[in-house]
Structure 1
């Protein structure tokens, strides 16, 4: 399983609207993507405009090709993109170790 980690910074004062938008985009768009396995979203306490989005995929290609090169990606960005203060920083990770 692959972890996609997106560090998202939104425009100040938009937290409530973004909270709803990211949930909408995840449930209506990303949750239906090939290879999707789940997600977590954390929002900053000290930096309230910062969010960390974690999406779990079967393979790297499920995110980078199947999703990113589909019409669903454009739909996702149309929902959450207007809130971005800058482009999210996105990286992918393999699981090294896990607690029980």
Structure 2
């Protein structure tokens, strides 16, 4: 299992619309092969800052399967216009419980 971690900065004043769009887009990611779970956390100190955590069975399930899919194009369409700057996606593997 791998963990995708993404720090997101949503454009000022668009937070509510983003959260609504994310709820809808969650249907897309959760239908993908290799998907395990995801969560979106809102930062308490910085307005518009979010942390997205997605668990995948393998790195390729995200980087190849999801990113090369038609579903990813729809995910981008629904969410990417909210971000400024565009986020950096990182992947992690568990070391300890």
* TM-score, length-scaled by structure 2: 0.96
How far off its partner does 1:8 sit?
0.7
Segments of 5+ residues of structure 1 without an aligned counterpart are: none
CA distance in 1: counterparts of 2:24 and 2:85, whole angstroms: 20
> Are 1:60 and 2:59 counterparts?
yes
Shift of residue 88, structure 1, vs aligned partner: 1.1
Structural mapping, 1:20-39, within 5 Å: 20-26=20-26, 28-39=27-38
Query: Tell me, which stretches of 5 or more residues in structure 2 are unaligned?
Result: none
For the aligned residue pairs, the C-alpha RMSD in angstroms reads: 0.8
Equivalence map 1:36-47=2 (5 Å): 36-47=35-46
Runs of 4+ in 1 over 3 A off after TM superposition: none
